[in-house]
């Protein structure tokens, strides 16, 4: 893994709510296919480590950011990366 996927993976597995939330937000915005592929290789581990994590939140639950990040990784794994990129960029 490169520096970015390594850092994101470490943060997602840390169980530190602030690090997990920040990394989830970074994954949602990530357009680097190689970095996403590296994270997809650890998807099961990430899902297992974050399954019962309460990220808090006020009006909007911060866990929704994590759920979206996991959807992004699953979509990349399943070959839907083009559609996610198109939706995010409006093309």
Domain boundaries, the chain: 3-89
Block residue for tokens 């690090």: 19
Percent with pLDDT over 90 in the chain: 69
Q: 84 falls in which pLDDT band (50, 70, 90)? A: low
Question: What are the tokens at 22?
Answer: 């920040």
The pLDDT tens digits for 20-52 are 999 999 999 998 999 999 999 999 999 999 999
Q: Taking a C-beta distance cutoff of 8 angstroms, is the pair 23, 8 a contact? A: yes
Name the token pair of 33.
């296919």
> How far is the C-alpha of 23 from the C-alpha of 29, rounded, in Å?
10
d(CA 37, CA 23): 16
The continuous run of DSSP H or E covering 43 comes out as: helix 43-50
pLDDT computed for residue 39 by the predictor: 96
Check pLDDT > 90 for residue 4.
Answer: no
Nearest to 76 by CA among 24, 17, 27: 27
């Amino acid at each position: 893994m490169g520096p970015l996927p390594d850092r994101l993976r470490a943060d997602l597995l840390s169980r530190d709510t602030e690090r997990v939330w920040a990394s989830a937000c970074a994954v949602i915005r990530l357009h680097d296919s190689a970095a996403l592929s590296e994270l997809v290789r650890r998807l099961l581990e990430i899902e297992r480590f974050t399954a019962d994590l309460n990220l808090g939140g006020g009006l909007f639950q911060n866990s929704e950011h994590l759920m979206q990040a996991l959807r992004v990784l699953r979509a990349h794994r399943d070959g839907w990366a083009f559609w996610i990129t198109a939706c995010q960029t409006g093309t």
